[in-house]
Structure 1
Amino acid sequence: MSRAQCACGAIKLNFSEPPQLTALCHCFACQRRTGSPFSANAFYDNAAVSIEGETKVFVRTADGGRKVSMHFCPTCGSTVFWKAEASPNWLGVGVGSFADPTFPAPTISVFERSKHDWVRLEEGIGHDSLP
């Protein structure tokens, strides 16, 4: 079973199955959330995740108009997971929260319209069809 956590360890997530999807996201919200030019994300069925610890929640409106609830640690500030109205059966987790260099590689790259020009992706990764 894999485990993700915030920087201070106050929030821990345990998973009973592998992710349904792994993706890179280049949207501006993910850039701001991570402080990086893109985010690496894993998406799990809600039933496969158990959460330990209390989170604070920041709700933002996604580009498509639906709400995304970002769950972060009130102690260290790490955003560990989120839930999106657009995908109510999935829970998203930042791949960095696993601190596992063997974590499965992303299979798709999305919101590439806001991708930094100098970012290069592995061949074979899927690309979104957004302009």
Structure 2
Amino acid sequence: MDKAQCACGSLEVRSSQPPQLTAICHCLACQKRTGAPFSANAFYSVDCVTISGPSTAYVRTADSGRKVRMHFCQICGSTVYWRAEASPSVIGIAVGAFADPSFPAPTLSVFEETKHGWVQLDETVVHFQGLPTGQ
């Protein structure tokens, strides 16, 4: 079972299944959310996830016009997970919240149109300037 949690351990997310997808996002919203040049994200079916501990949600409007609800710890401020209106059956969890160096590597990289030029990814990652076609 995968376990992600905030820095202080008050907010925890557990999954009974492996992620459906692990991806890197270079969009400006993710850069601002993480304070880093990109975010590393694991996506799970909501049916296999349990959440414990209090969170506060920040709701932002994505470029698509749909809402993204990002949940962060009320004590330490770590963003642990998010839900997007565009994908109601999926929950995104910050890979860093797992604190596991052996966590599965990302398979794709999105919004590379705003990727920092010094970020280098190997050829095993599929690259997209925006979202993959059909998203």
TM-score of the aligned structures, taking structure 2 as reference length: 0.94
2: CA distance between counterparts of 1:74 and 1:8?
10
Which amino acid is the alignment partner of residue 59 of structure 1? Answer: V
| Corresponding residue pairs, total | 131
1:90 aligned residue: 90
1:125 aligned residue: 125
Specify every segment of 5 or more residues in structure 1 that has no aligned partner in the other structure, as ranges. none
Which amino acid is the alignment partner of residue 123 of structure 1? Answer: E
TM-score of the aligned structures, taking structure 1 as reference length: 0.97
Please give the root-mean-square deviation of Cα atoms over the aligned residues, in Å.
1.1
Is 1:51 the counterpart of 2:44? The answer is no
Specify every segment of 5 or more residues in structure 2 that has no aligned partner in the other structure, as ranges. none
CA contact (8 A) 2:113 2:129 kept: no
**Which aligned runs of 4 or more in structure 1 are off by greater than 3 angstroms?**
none
Q: Taking every aligned residue pair, what percent have the same amino acid on both sides?
A: 62
Matches within 5 A, 1:1-131: 1-128=1-128, 130=130
Q: Give 1:65 deviation, angstroms.
A: 1.0
2: CA distance between counterparts of 1:26 and 1:96?
16
1: CA distance between counterparts of 2:11 and 2:32?
21
Which amino acid is the alignment partner of residue 103 of structure 1? Answer: F
Q: Give 1:129 deviation, angstroms.
A: 5.1
Q: Secondary structure at the match of 1:7?
A: coil
1: CA distance between counterparts of 2:110 and 2:44?
17
Which amino acid is the alignment partner of residue 69 of structure 1? Answer: R
1: CA distance between counterparts of 2:71 and 2:96?
15
Moved more, 91-100 or 118-127: 118-127
